Chains A and B, each alone.
Chain A
Amino acid sequence: MATTVITGRDLSLTIDSKNYGDQCTSATLKVDLERNAYETIDGKVFFALDTTATLSITMLADWGANSPSSICEAMWTAASTAPNTALTYTFTAASGAVFTGSVYPSFPDASGTGKDAQTVTFTLQGTAKPTLTIS
């Protein structure tokens, strides 16, 4: 059986209908499962309580871009004007494996070094565990 390899080129990310592919250099969808541990007379047992989803993005900054319009500015506007309104996202890990869900907006940072392209890193809080659709 051939070894399956998927790469960052197989990824695609859309948040609030905006394609992040042109700017995004790294994207991580992380779901943490919170478990409680109990010591019983039969030994340690675990019980799952909750899940927390976060979407971490590192992207080339595009402040001031017009065509296509800046996604840094769109995220900033969403965090400023409607911080409690979740934005839907679609995160494709590879063809046929798509995670969907919603995240709350966050303020992108603005920073840079003298010689490198400006990058922006931010983490978006998910509203719930994402849905994985396999097709």
Chain B
Amino acid sequence: MTASTILSAVRQPLATALSGVTANVFAYVPENVPVPAVVLVPSSPYLEFDTIGNSTFRCKVNFTISCCVTYSSNPASLDNIEQLIESVVLAIPSGYEIGDVQRPSVTTVGASTLLVADIGVSTHYTRTL
């Protein structure tokens, strides 16, 4: 039996759950961001070791889910990102801790100006065989 990985046990289930959101979902940082977009990236600290023992690899895994929408008019963009945040939070499966949502900020990616808000998400991973 193949050993589990963080990708198979944590990242992929989260990405699969988020795929139901009406946005482009990325499990990595894309070169171009086709909005609306949801980007799953490691947070810092990425891995925390908070359980006793060393018989197998166990850790708390921290992610940031970046929600990105087009920044054109402020009221419309804020409404769009709030709706995207709502749908992302509702899509996060059980077993994942949902942290705070950081204040939306305006970010320029290439020629695009985006409104971006980050959601902190954490879960625990145990390597299994």
* Residues of A that sit less than 8 Å from B by CB: 8-13, 19-27, 60, 115-117
B interface with A by C-beta (< 8 Å): 49-56, 58, 97-100, 122, 124, 126
Whether A21 touches B53, Cβ cut-off 8 Å, given contacts A115-B98, A115-B99, is yes
A21 touches B51 (CB 8 A): yes
A22 to B53, CA, bound (A): 8
Decide if A26 touches B99 in the complex (CB within 8 Å): no
The closest CB in chain B to the CB of A11 belongs to: B52
18 of the cross-chain contacts (CB-CB < 8 Å) are A12-B52, A12-B55, A13-B52, A13-B53, A19-B55, A21-B53, A21-B58, A22-B53, A22-B58, A24-B51, A24-B52, A24-B53, A25-B51, A26-B52, A60-B51, A116-B97, A117-B97, A117-B124
Provide the bound-state CA to CA distance between A8 and B51, in Å: 8
Taken together as a complex, chains A and B put the C-alpha atoms of A44 and B122 apart, in Å, by: 56
Beyond A21-B52, A25-B52, A115-B99, 18 extra complex contacts between A and B, CB < 8 Å: A8-B51, A9-B52, A9-B53, A12-B52, A12-B53, A12-B55, A13-B52, A19-B55, A21-B53, A22-B51, A25-B50, A26-B52, A27-B52, A115-B98, A115-B100, A116-B97, A117-B122, A117-B124
